[in-house]
Chain A
């Protein structure tokens, strides 16, 4: 089965830049999208189609992609950004919808 790989955890101090990677063969062909999930709350779309930020998401969130690796970047991370972040895309043939395993971001 197709998988996308994320680091299990990332930790930064407030004000630092957090980078969360997502690796998968399908990313070379298809868009990646990113979700933020805080415990007990609905997931929130923070980045779509590789680099597009929804209007309500702070400008400190940005995205990039090169080949089979995508990166979510939080410049000047804040304590409020602590959450799980999940990438989402499709396998190389466009058949299977897949999430990465999720990355727990700690800001302290």
Chain B
């Protein structure tokens, strides 16, 4: 079975940093693009970032570009999101998702983790 498990969430003050991790199993991790998606309380979902098969290509939503960094470790089947200079509006549940993407990164998410809560306070 495909499994994705996020970790690393928590409570952080504005301007602080957090590093989220996503541990995967049950599929060939190096064969898939991977994404982070978030959902703020009472809001819709928002795609945050994704990276390509070897991690050489990284793509970000405008709201996080320059503050967040996505990376992957294909040897450990894991995905990471380094979040710096956090803002109150970054408060959300963050999901790791397997990305069925074309070579330009367009596609859909076919498997998701349960999510991890990040709360940023001022």
Contact = CB atoms under 8 A, between A and B. Distances in A.
Interface of A: 1, 30-31, 33, 35, 37, 41-45, 48-49, 54, 86, 88, 90, 94, 96-102
Size range of the chain B interface in the assembly: 20 to 34
- 4 closest A-B pairs by beta carbon, nearest first, are A33-B108, A97-B47, A99-B45, A101-B44
B115 A42 contact: yes
Contacts of B115: 42
Interface of B is mostly: strand
A43 B108 contact: no
A107 to B, nearest CB: 21
29 contacts: A31-B108, A33-B109, A35-B45, A37-B45, A41-B114, A42-B112, A42-B113, A42-B114, A42-B115, A43-B37, A43-B95, A44-B112, A45-B108, A45-B110, A48-B108, A54-B110, A86-B44, A86-B45, A88-B108, A90-B106, A94-B104, A96-B61, A97-B61, A97-B106, A99-B37, A99-B44, A99-B45, A101-B44, A102-B45
Given A98-B47, A99-B44, A101-B44, A30 B106 contact: yes
Which residue, of B45, B61, B106, B110, has the highest number of chain A Cβ atoms within 10 A?
B45
B106 A94 contact: yes
A108 B25 CA distance: 38
Contacts of B61: 96-97
Which residue, of B39, B106, B108, B115, has the highest number of chain A Cβ atoms within 10 A?
B108
Given A35-B109, A99-B47, 13 more contacts: A31-B108, A33-B108, A37-B39, A43-B112, A44-B112, A45-B109, A45-B110, A45-B111, A48-B108, A88-B108, A90-B106, A99-B37, A101-B44
Contacts of A100: 44
Nearest to A32: B108
A45 B37 CA distance: 14
